[in-house]
Structure 1
Amino acid sequence: MQQAGKLREFLESNDPVASLRLTRVRGSSPRTTGTEMYVRADALWGTIGGGQLEHRAIDAARELLRAGNLSAHLDLPLGPAIGQCCGGRVEIAVTRMSTSDKEHAHAEALRYDAALPEVYILGAGHVGRALAELFQHLPVRAVLVDQREDELEQCGAEVEKRLSAIPEIDIMNAPSQSAFIVLTHDHGLDFLLASAALQRNDAAYVGLIGSATKRAKFASWARTHCGGLSVDSLICPIGAGGSRDKRPAVIAAQVVAEVITALTSETAADHPARGTVSHIAAQ
């Protein structure tokens, strides 16, 4: 989900733009300090948490733009007084954006895009394409990899489609803390790619489509062909959320939840490759 280009289009409108930034959060709140959204008279970008908090802040931003003012400050309790029950309190800086403010916001969006975790979908079959459809809306850089051009062409999602004769090289060249989902058209290739991902020892997630039987066969193969490679960190079956529904879209939904959980765990969040630009992440 690349945001910088779309944000630039939003900010370069002829209409004035206001920034809403959470400058202080006390107690429970739907978003954290630093979260930011942008407001025009006719459009919005991002969110600071929704509900009455956001509605009141948007109204204040649009009033500031109408009046031609430069800044304002809001201090809102997140309780019954505004129809919310979080129980905390937030302070919001409302600012009419200058040209330099917009340039800075765009630069932050570029930094955010560059720091997005990468998710490699290794196989462009039915489930692979269903995964791409979902990941295109999430704060990751999804790469759909296949040796078959005709399968890649069937994917309409806004993700990178990579025709690769040797997908193992794509795995080798991926950044640290990437996620790898292996679901090719060939079990032998599945084994090669899953072992390549596990041998990196720095993946945030390695998943292999299949059953418990396939996992056992892969474990035996890995011991024989990969110097006793451990498969303890391998997720197989993938998306094992308890559902017996085998439709690609349902499997994909379960796997996406699994991968995002792995990418946003406390361990993953401490990694420098994780983006921290929360106002972009909300879009």
Structure 2
Amino acid sequence: MAEGFDLGGLRAAVARHGRVARVVVGAVEGSAPRGPGAAMLVWAGGARGTIGGGALEWEAIARARALLAEGGLRVDRRPLGPALGQCCGGSVTLVTEVWDAAALDGIEGPLVARSLDGRPMGLEVRRLLDRARREGARPPAQIRQGWLIEPLALPEREIWIWGAGHVGRALVAVLSPLPDLALTWIDVARDRFPEILPEGPRAIWTPRPEELVAHAPPHAEHLVLTFSHALDLELCHRILSRGAAGLGVIGSATKAARFRGRLRALGHSDGQIAHMVCPIGDKSLGKHPQAIALGVAVGLLGQKRRVGAEIAS
């Protein structure tokens, strides 16, 4: 779940589950597991996201499910030590709201602001909203003059995952809960994906996935791990031709050498081919799909964010 008010994720959850409660950390005093803006969604049969775990989250989920039957909004300030027996010495203000399709109508950015106690919008809040609209300012989530103010969530990185086999599924499971990542997941047919698609990633199936490369944004990062070496090669060829912020391919040293040779034959320079990372993951972790996924995730998170960086074409 992306940091900030994840409008897309909330809409998807409402479309799937109907009424959904959203719990957000509005304010923190002292030490707490998560900071302002951390949020989770709760529905009758499940939840997504986290506000820090432990007794705080367990209690928040119970309150959210009770509120689902009534609708509306509630604000709770919880001292973590005295009230919940947690080691953190601070206190957290939680805002719980019930959302449905009607409530989402008209929500737009760049800031989402709503009154917590019915009071009219104050001058400080109005100034924050005006500055956001004029200058694109994105202040952090906060409670100001009785209003909860959150920036709309904007993913910082787009990850395109090509392949819904064992490693693709493991990668999506590891990456989809992480904030600030937008995942696009592609394969050749619906039955290549899990029966129940995870919330968050955009899943696309088409008999000719290579044709979708032309629709990927130039700043996307690609992970290629399909069932077919021929399709992997064609995807690499098209991604290198189009330009991208990163290209990783599942395989081995032998596969990497063969792909480099074939990509040269297709007209790519050594400089272009050098942007291809193959194999992906951390060899020391082993070849289990989840181990590969963990290695890839650590590598992605360890990279310095490269906004607008493109493979030279």
8 Å contact kept, 1:120–1:142: yes
- Give the conservation status (yes or no) of the 8 Å contact 1:262–1:268: no
The equivalent of 1:216 in structure 2 is 257
Identify if the C-alpha distance between structure 1 residues 9 and 143 changes in structure 2 by more than 3 Å, giving closer, same or farther: closer
CA distance in 1, matches of 2:205, 2:100: 35
Task: Give the 3 Å change call, closer, same or farther, for CA 244–67 of structure 1 in structure 2.
Answer: closer
Q: Match of 1:6?
A: 13
- Report the secondary structure of 2:161's partner residue: strand
The CA deviation at 1:62 is 6.4
Between 49-58 and 99-108, report the one with greater CA deviation. Answer: 99-108
Q: Secondary structure at the match of 2:75?
A: strand
Amino acid in structure 1 at the alignment position of 2:258: K
| Aligned residues of 2:224 and 2:235 also touching (Cα < 8 A) | no
1:143 maps to 2:185: yes
- 2:280 corresponds to 1:238: yes
What is the Cα deviation at residue 241 of structure 1?
Answer: 3.5
Unmatched 5+ residue regions in structure 1? Answer: 123-127, 147-151, 272-283
- The CA distance in 2 between the partners of 1:53 and 1:7, in whole Å, is 24
Q: How does 1:1-283 map to 2 (within 5 A)?
A: 3=9, 4-12=11-19, 19-26=22-29, 29-38=32-41, 42=44, 45-46=47-48, 47-58=50-61, 71-77=74-80, 79=81, 82-85=84-87, 87=88, 89-95=90-96, 97=98, 102-103=103-104, 117-121=158-162, 128-135=164-171, 137=173, 138-139=176-177, 140-146=182-188, 152=189, 154-157=191-194, 158=197, 159-164=203-208, 167=210, 169-175=211-217, 176-187=219-230, 189-203=231-245, 205-223=246-264, 225-245=267-287, 250=288, 252-261=289-298, 264=301, 267-268=304-305
The sequence identity of aligned pairs, in percent, is 25
Gapped runs of 5+ residues in structure 2? 2-7, 110-151, 198-202, 309-313
Structure 2 residue matching 1:72: 3-state secondary structure: strand
Check conservation: 1:35, 1:48, Cα contact below 8 A.
Answer: yes
CA change 1:21–1:143 in 2 (3 A) is closer
TM-score for the superposition, normalised by structure 1: 0.63
Shift of 1:103: 1.5
Retained in 2: the 8 A contact 1:121–1:131?
no
Q: Which has the higher strand share?
A: 2
| C-alpha distance in structure 1 between counterparts of 2:91 and 2:213, whole Å | 43
Give the secondary structure class of the aligned counterpart of 2:281: coil
Matching residue of 2:143: none
Q: CA deviation at 1:52?
A: 1.0
RCO higher in 1 or 2 (8 Å CA, sep ≥ 6)?
1
Superimposed CA distance per residue, residues 214-244 of structure 1 (whole angstroms, 9 cap, x where no aligned partner): 3233334444531333433322122333245
Deviation at 1:258, TM superposition (A): 4.1
Residue by residue, what CA displacement relative to the aligned partner does 1:96-152 show, whole Å, maximum 9, x if unpaired? Answer: 5477994269879xx869988342315xxxxx4223433554255343334xxxxx3
Q: Aligned with 1:256: secondary structure? A: helix
User: How far is the alpha carbon of 1:27 from its aligned partner?
Assistant: 5.6
Distance 1:213 1:48 in 2: 44
> Structure 2 length as normaliser, TM-score?
0.58
The count of aligned residue pairs is 243
- Residues 134, 256 of structure 1: 8 Å contact kept: yes
Pair 222,50 (structure 1): closer, same or farther in 2 beyond 3 Å: same
For 2:66 and 2:228, the matched residues in 1 are separated by 57
RMSD: 4.3
The one-letter amino acid paired with 2:204 is E
Shift in CA distance, 131/105, structure 1 to aligned 2, threshold 3 Å: farther
**Structure 1 residues 255 and 200 mapped into 2: Cα distance closer, same or farther (>3 Å)?**
farther
